[in-house]
């Protein structure tokens, strides 16, 4: 009988947390599209969307409504099941990563301590890697099921790009994990919050740079947006998609951007740590709320940097991309790992 | 030295005069290490885009804000009236002849007794049409007109959905009557109200 005794409040509180995190991710992705267009406009001396609502603030809603009312086209020669599975997969994997990111420390409500993390898995980073690498199936299945050579080519490019960059990303992470000695994201954040311990960016600047570059490549964003290189592949792997299925693909990209920013912040920039403030002196609830605010400010800064780079750099050529990945970043990451290992073994000890 | 070679050598020394003073030779040397890591160049590029974010935007929000036209702007035509509100056009057809795009057609009619307050002279245009899709807004009709009857105003021809709506007839072209509607008259003439 005791086996069946489920802590229902725990269940409920996790459910609410999931609902909040998922809807937050969706809203942020929605407004990232707006921010993207505004940032692009400002960087090109334009004004950007300003017709829907004040400052164009309702633009994402208008876009969403438009996508919903577009004609739904499933090509005759496509594999119907896979064709629908593709965007669903992209969206699912994008959303699944939210689960292990610590959004804050603990909140105390009604005498209960609520952890602001959906699941504190002790292999958090591995989980993220596993889910992110599933994301390539969204692209691959979509491109394959479209039965269009341009989609397929784009999907192949996307797959090879993601796989190549995942390698460098993983090696860059190993160096970080040597420092932290833990795979749990919560532990990593708490280590960075300790007094006398700084953010991991100070210990792993090169690792951060590699990780950041790879994250950009994983998100298929410029300068690594080869899967959707319009001038070579028409529209890329979502060429045959229309209506909300296309919307899902585009949306998944923005969610991915949000999640990668969150992961970068968690790993290298202290997560929900408030800079120059000792959280233990504040009341726990206040510290938690301020921590969430600081986490989101950091995330928004990174989203902005993602966009900033997109509107600055031209796209890499395919061979340049592969050269950078295999001959540049992986070697750098390996060197970084070896140096870290050496320092850990002989200098710190 | 063979003749062709000396001719080519001669051609090389006689370089064409540079079209601009901003010509820059492309540096094709292989990249050094500093350039190969891309980062300095990327950061420089990012600083440029960042500075652009705070530049003044040249955009003009069109329907709300409109740029003033020049006084000599050649826009949509108006058929003018005299100060008593009578139509000036006598349907002489000089504008139609002058028109290089053959956009103007008209039909003349004789003024009947009692219509002296409507038409300035004995002959007037019963029908006067300009095909705005053919018109090239050159202003030759305006120059040809001996009666000061047709003018190119400082307004656009508005957009429409059907081609047939671009054949403007008298009711689209005639200027408002200065006696009954002086404000509309001034506005159509392009004067500052």
Tens-place pLDDT, residues B23-75: 888 888 888 877 777 888 889 989 998 998 888 888 888 888 888 888 888 88
Check pLDDT > 80 for residue A64.
yes
Task: State the burial class of residue A290 (Cβ atoms within 10 Å of its Cβ: 0-12, 13-18, 19+).
Answer: middle
- Determine contact: A68 vs chain B, CB below 8 A: no
Q: Which residues of B touch A50 (CB under 8 A)?
A: 61
pLDDT at position B15, please?
62
Mean pLDDT taken over chain B? 83
Check pLDDT > 60 for residue A254.
yes
Check pLDDT > 80 for residue A26.
yes
**Rounded distance between C-alpha atoms, residue A193 and residue A272, angstroms:** 9
pLDDT at position A78, please?
79
**Rounded distance between C-alpha atoms, residue B49 and residue A326, angstroms:** 29
Check pLDDT > 50 for residue A296.
yes
pLDDT band at B161 (very low <50, low <70, confident <90, very high): very high
Mean pLDDT taken over chain A? 84
Beta bridge partners of B126: none
Residue B192 or B14, more confident = B14
Which of A38, A42, A209 is most worth mutating to test chain B (most B CB atoms within 10 A of its CB)? A42
pLDDT at position B192, please?
45
DSSP string, A239-259: TT--HHHHHHHHHHHHHHHHH
Are B173 and B77 a contacting pair, CB within 8 Å? yes
| Whether B42 and A313 lie within 8 Å, measured CB to CB | yes
pLDDT band at B129 (very low <50, low <70, confident <90, very high): very high
pTM: 0.78
pLDDT band at B193 (very low <50, low <70, confident <90, very high): very low
**Rounded distance between C-alpha atoms, residue A156 and residue A167, angstroms:** 17
**Rounded distance between C-alpha atoms, residue A132 and residue A219, angstroms:** 9
Name which of A43, A46, A47 is nearest B49 (Cβ-Cβ). Answer: A43
Tens-place pLDDT, residues A110-136: 777 777 777 777 888 888 888 888 888
Task: State the burial class of residue A346 (Cβ atoms within 10 Å of its Cβ: 0-12, 13-18, 19+).
Answer: exposed
Letter string b/e over residues A149-187, b meaning 16 or more CB atoms within 10 A of that residue's CB: ebbbbbbbbbbbbbebbbebbbbbbebbbbbbebbbbbb
**Rounded distance between C-alpha atoms, residue A285 and residue A24, angstroms:** 20
* C-alpha distances in Å from residue A264, one per residue of A213, A256, A261: 11, 12, 5
pLDDT band at A275 (very low <50, low <70, confident <90, very high): confident
**Rounded distance between C-alpha atoms, residue A305 and residue B42, angstroms:** 12
**Rounded distance between C-alpha atoms, residue B46 and residue B30, angstroms:** 23
Are B97 and B161 a contacting pair, CB within 8 Å? no
- Tell me, what's the ipTM? 0.76
Region B97-112 average pLDDT: 91
DSSP string, A115-128: ESSS---TTHHHHH
Check pLDDT > 90 for residue B5.
no
The Cα of B11 is separated from the nearest Cα of chain A by a number of Å equal to 38
Letter string b/e over residues A75-105, b meaning 16 or more CB atoms within 10 A of that residue's CB: beebbeebbbbbbebbbbbbbbbbbbbbbbb
Check pLDDT > 90 for residue B97.
yes
User: Which residue matches tokens 């094709």?
Assistant: B28
Bond prior to A223 in cis (omega within 30° of 0): yes
Check pLDDT > 80 for residue A162.
yes
Region B79-96 average pLDDT: 88
Helix (H, G, I), strand (E, B) or coil at A99: helix
Name which of A43, A46, A313 is nearest B59 (Cβ-Cβ). Answer: A46
Are A68 and A248 a contacting pair, CB within 8 Å? no
If contacts are CB pairs under 8 Å, which of residues 236-295 in chain A contact chain B? none
The Cα of A46 is separated from the nearest Cα of chain B by a number of Å equal to 6
């Amino acid at each position: 009988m005791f086996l069946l005794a489920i802590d229902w409040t725990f269940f409920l509180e996790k459910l609410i947390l999931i609902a909040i995190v998922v809807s937050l991710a969706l809203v942020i992705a929605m407004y990232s599209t707006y921010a993207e267009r505004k940032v692009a406009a400002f960087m090109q001396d334009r004004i950007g969307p300003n017709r829907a609502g004040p400052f164009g603030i309702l633009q994402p809603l208008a876009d969403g409504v438009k996508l919903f009312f577009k004609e739904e086209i499933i090509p005759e020669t496509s594999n119907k099941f896979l064709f629908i599975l593709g965007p669903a997969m992209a969206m699912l994997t994008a959303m699944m990563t939210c689960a292990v990111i610590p959004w804050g420390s603990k909140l105390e409500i009604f005498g209960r301590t609520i952890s602001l993390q959906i699941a504190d898995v002790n292999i958090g980073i591995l989980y993220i890697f596993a889910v992110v690498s599933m994301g390539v199936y969204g692209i691959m299945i979509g491109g394959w099921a479209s039965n269009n050579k341009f989609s397929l080519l784009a999907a192949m490019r996307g797959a090879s790009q993601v796989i190549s960059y995942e390698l460098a990303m993983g090696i860059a992470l190993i160096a970080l994990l040597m420092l932290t000695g833990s795979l749990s994201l919560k532990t990593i954040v708490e280590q960075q919050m300790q007094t006398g311990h700084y953010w991991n960016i100070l210990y792993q600047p090169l690792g951060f740079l590699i990780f950041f570059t790879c994250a950009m490549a994983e998100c298929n964003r410029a300068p690594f947006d080869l899967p959707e290189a319009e001038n070579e592949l028409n529209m890329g792997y979502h060429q045959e998609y229309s209506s909300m299925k296309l919307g899902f693909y585009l949306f998944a990209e923005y969610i991915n951007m949000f999640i990668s920013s969150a992961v970068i912040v968690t790993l290298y920039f202290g997560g929900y740590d408030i800079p120059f403030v000792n959280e233990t002196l504040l009341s726990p609830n206040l510290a938690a709320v301020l921590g969430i605010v600081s986490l989101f400010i950091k995330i928004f800064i990174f989203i902005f940097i993602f966009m900033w780079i997109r509107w600055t750099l031209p796209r890499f050529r395919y061979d340049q991309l592969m050269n950078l990945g295999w001959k540049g970043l992986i070697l750098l990451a390996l060197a970084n790992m070896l140096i870290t290992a050496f320092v850990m073994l002989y200098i710190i000890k | 030295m063979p003749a062709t070679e000396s001719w080519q050598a001669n051609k090389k020394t006689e370089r064409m005069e540079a079209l601009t003073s901003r010509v820059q030779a492309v540096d094709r040397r292989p990249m050094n290490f500093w350039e190969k890591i891309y980062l300095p160049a990327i950061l420089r590029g990012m600083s440029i885009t960042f500075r652009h974010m705070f530049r003044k935007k040249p955009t003009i929000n069109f329907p709300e804000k409109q740029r003033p036209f020049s006084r000599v702007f050649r826009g949509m035509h108006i058929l003018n009236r005299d100060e008593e509100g009578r139509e000036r056009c006598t349907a002489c057809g000089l504008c139609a002849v002058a028109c290089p795009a053959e956009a103007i057609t008209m039909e003349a009619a004789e003024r009947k007794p009692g219509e002296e307050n409507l038409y300035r002279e004995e002959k007037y245009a019963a029908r006067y049409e300009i095909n705005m899709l053919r018109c090239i807004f050159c202003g030759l009709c305006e120059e040809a007109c001996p009666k000061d009857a047709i003018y190119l105003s400082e307004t656009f021809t508005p957009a429409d959905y059907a081609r047939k709506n671009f054949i403007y007839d008298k009711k689209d072209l005639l200027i408002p009557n200065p006696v009954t509607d002086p404000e509309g008259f001034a506005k159509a003439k392009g004067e500052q109200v």
